[in-house]
């Protein structure tokens, strides 16, 4: 009986695998065609300076509107693009588009806003990434100092030596690097010092209950203190409520991002929104700033 059940399980398992493989293949083809057909676009979410209340920059987030499937979230296709190697093409497109839009946003607003671009592990370890970045900036005359690349710690552990080489080349160009989703991965001190990163982004899972959960608050505070003592700036992700904002400002987090300030929108809408966000209420301690 056990044997029969075992065999049954095996069959189901292999069918699942086959389904998974064909789903991936289908998605890969759809991404390739979608790029050709112009179904992808970049949206921009404001990153706000928590002291001044001014928009400091924006994170570029990829969006895909498939004619039949509708909006497909990046979490569904970035991993497939990574696995199939298609991330090289998709990543190059993303970088170019984000640099072009950033230059346009800077021109329209008259402010040297920064643009943060997500770079996944396989894309980061491409040998020609620094050249690609340089070319993307040069093509639209974007100052590389306006560009921040968001990587995750997993990009640093696969091949530490290669990662260091790439980071050094990027820094030499003036491009900065942020560690995204900080606190969820290895959160290794040696990663931060050895690789000389410029920014840490506190993962939104710690921001969610930062006002009510002592452990989350402790993690957020520890990240901020450690980063500041190393001269690294800190961005809090996923600020949705006034209380979270208050807490993070009180604890000297440098920048914030989240639905409280605004979701990601097209470059045109970003400019139309303006750079003064009414949602940032004055902090009594720094009332003079407003
Ligand atoms: P991420 O880089 O950590 O981006 C933040 C995600 O949180 C975005 O989801 C954003 O829309 C969402 N978010 C922003 N504010 C809030 C908030 O207040 N509450 C909540 N619950 N969520 C908020 P999105 O755009 O779906 O992207 C998901 C992930 O996909 C990103 O996480 C990033 O890892 C990846 N991704 C997005 N765009 C790109 C891209 O162009 N290239 C690469 N390689 N990865 C990308
Ligand atoms: Mg990010
Ligand atoms: Mg993140
Ligand atoms: Mg993430």
pLDDT of residue 106: 97
pLDDT at position 4 over 50 = no
Could you tell me the pLDDT band of residue 158, with boundaries at 50, 70 and 90?
confident
pLDDT digits (tens, 9 = 90+) for 49-103: 999 889 999 999 999 999 999 999 999 999 999 999 999 999 999 999 999 999 9
Could you tell me the pLDDT band of residue 279, with boundaries at 50, 70 and 90?
low
pLDDT at position 8 over 60 = no
The mean per-residue pLDDT over the stretch 16-40 comes to 92
Give the tokens for residue 131.
């050249």
- The ipTM estimated for the assembled molecules is 0.97
Contacts 24+ apart (CB under 8 A), 20-27: 24/80, 24/83, 24/84, 27/76, 27/77, 27/80
pLDDT at position 148 over 80 = yes
- Tell me the torsion sign for CA atoms 143, 98, 150, 46: positive
pLDDT digits (tens, 9 = 90+) for 205-223: 999 999 999 999 999 999 9
| Atom 22 in ligand 1: residue holding the nearest Cα | 238
d(CA 117, CA 152): 12
Instruction: Give the ligand 1 atom nearest the CA of 203.
Output: 3
Classify 236 in phi/psi space as left (phi over 0), alpha (psi -120 to 50) or beta. Answer: beta
Give the Å distances, CA to CA, from 16 to 9, 11, 140, 273. 11, 9, 46, 46
Residue 245 C-alpha to ligand 3 middle, in angstroms? Answer: 17
d(CA 36, CA 173): 31
pLDDT of residue 283: 54
Give the Å distances, CA to CA, from 61 to 18, 38, 169. 31, 16, 24
User: Pocket of ligand 1, candidates 62, 99, 118: which has the most ligand atoms within 8 Å of its Cβ, to mutate?
Assistant: 118
Which phi and psi (to 5°) does residue 262 adopt? 150, 145
Q: Give me the helices (H) in 208-252, please.
A: 214-229, 242-250
pLDDT of residue 17: 85
pLDDT of residue 13: 65
| Atom 21 in ligand 1: residue holding the nearest Cα | 238
The reported pTM is 0.92
Residue 165 C-alpha to ligand 1 middle, in angstroms? Answer: 27
Closest ligand (CA of 202): 3
pLDDT of residue 78: 96
Residue 237 C-alpha to ligand 3 middle, in angstroms? Answer: 6
Q: Which residue has the tokens 């979701």?
A: 263
Judge if the beta carbon of residue 187 lies within 6 A of ligand 1: no
pLDDT at position 289 over 50 = no
């Amino acid at each position: 009986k056990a044997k029969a059940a075992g065999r049954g399980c095996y069959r189901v398992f292999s069918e699942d695998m086959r389904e998974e493989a064909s789903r991936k293949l289908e998605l890969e083809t759809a991404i390739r065609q979608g790029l050709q057909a112009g179904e992808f676009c970049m949206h921009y979410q404001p990153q706000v300076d928590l002291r001044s209340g001014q928009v400091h920059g924006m994170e570029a987030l990829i969006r895909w509107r498939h004619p039949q499937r509708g909006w497909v979230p990046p979490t569904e296709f970035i991993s497939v693009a990574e696995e199939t190697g298609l991330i090289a093409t998709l990543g190059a497109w993303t970088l170019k588009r984000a640099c072009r839009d950033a230059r346009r946003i800077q021109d329209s607003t008259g402010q040297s806003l920064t643009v943060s671009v997500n770079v996944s592990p396989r894309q980061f370890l491409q040998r020609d990434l620094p050249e690609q970045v340089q070319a993307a900036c040069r093509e639209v005359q974007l100052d590389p100092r306006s560009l921040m690349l968001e990587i995750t710690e997993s990009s640093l552990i696969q091949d530490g030596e290669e990662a260091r080489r790439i980071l050094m080349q990027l820094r030499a160009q003036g491009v900065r690097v942020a560690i995204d989703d900080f606190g969820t991965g290895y959160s290794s001190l040696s990663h931060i010092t050895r690789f000389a990163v410029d920014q840490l982004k506190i993962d939104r899972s710690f921001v969610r209950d930062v006002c009510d959960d002592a452990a989350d608050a402790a993690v957020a505070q520890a990240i901020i203190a450690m980063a500041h003592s190393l001269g690294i700036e800190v961005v809090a992700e996923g600020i949705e409520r006034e209380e979270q904002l208050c807490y993070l400002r009180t604890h000297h987090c440098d920048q914030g991002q989240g639905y409280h300030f605004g979701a990601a929108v097209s470059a045109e809408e970003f400019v139309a929104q303006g750079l003064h966000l009414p949602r940032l209420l004055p902090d009594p301690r720094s009332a003079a700033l407003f």
